[in-house]
Structure 1
Amino acid sequence: MNALQQKPIGVFDSGVGGLTVVRALMERLPNENIIYFGDTARVPYGVKSRHTIETYTEQIVSFLLEHDVKALVIACNTIAAVAGQKVRQMAGAMPVLDVISAGATAALAVTRNQSIGVMATSTTVNSNAYARAIHAQNPQARILSQACPLLVPLVEEGWLDHEVTRLTVREYLKPLLAEDGVDTLVLGCTHYPLLKPLLKQEAPRVTLVDSAITTAEAAARALDAANLRNPNTTGADYRFYVSDIPLRFQTIGERFLGRSLEQLEMVSLG
Structure 2
Amino acid sequence: MPALIFDCDGVLADTERNGHLPAFNRTFAEFGVPVQWSDDDYREKVLIGGGKERMASILTPEFVAANGLPADADGQRELLAEWHKRKTAIYTELVASGALPPRPGIARIAQEAADADWTLAVASTSAEPSVRAVLEHAVGQELAARFAVFAGDIVPHKKPAPDIYLLALDRLGIGPDDGVVVEDSGNGVRAAVGAGLRTIVTVSAYTADEDFDGASLVVTSLGDPGEPAEVLAAPAGVEPGALVELRDIGAVMHRPRP
| TM-score, normalised by the number of residues in structure 1 | 0.35
Structure with a larger share of its residues in strand: 1
Calculate the TM-score normalised by the size of structure 2: 0.36
Question: Does 1 or 2 have the higher relative contact order (CA < 8 Å, sep 6+)?
Answer: 1
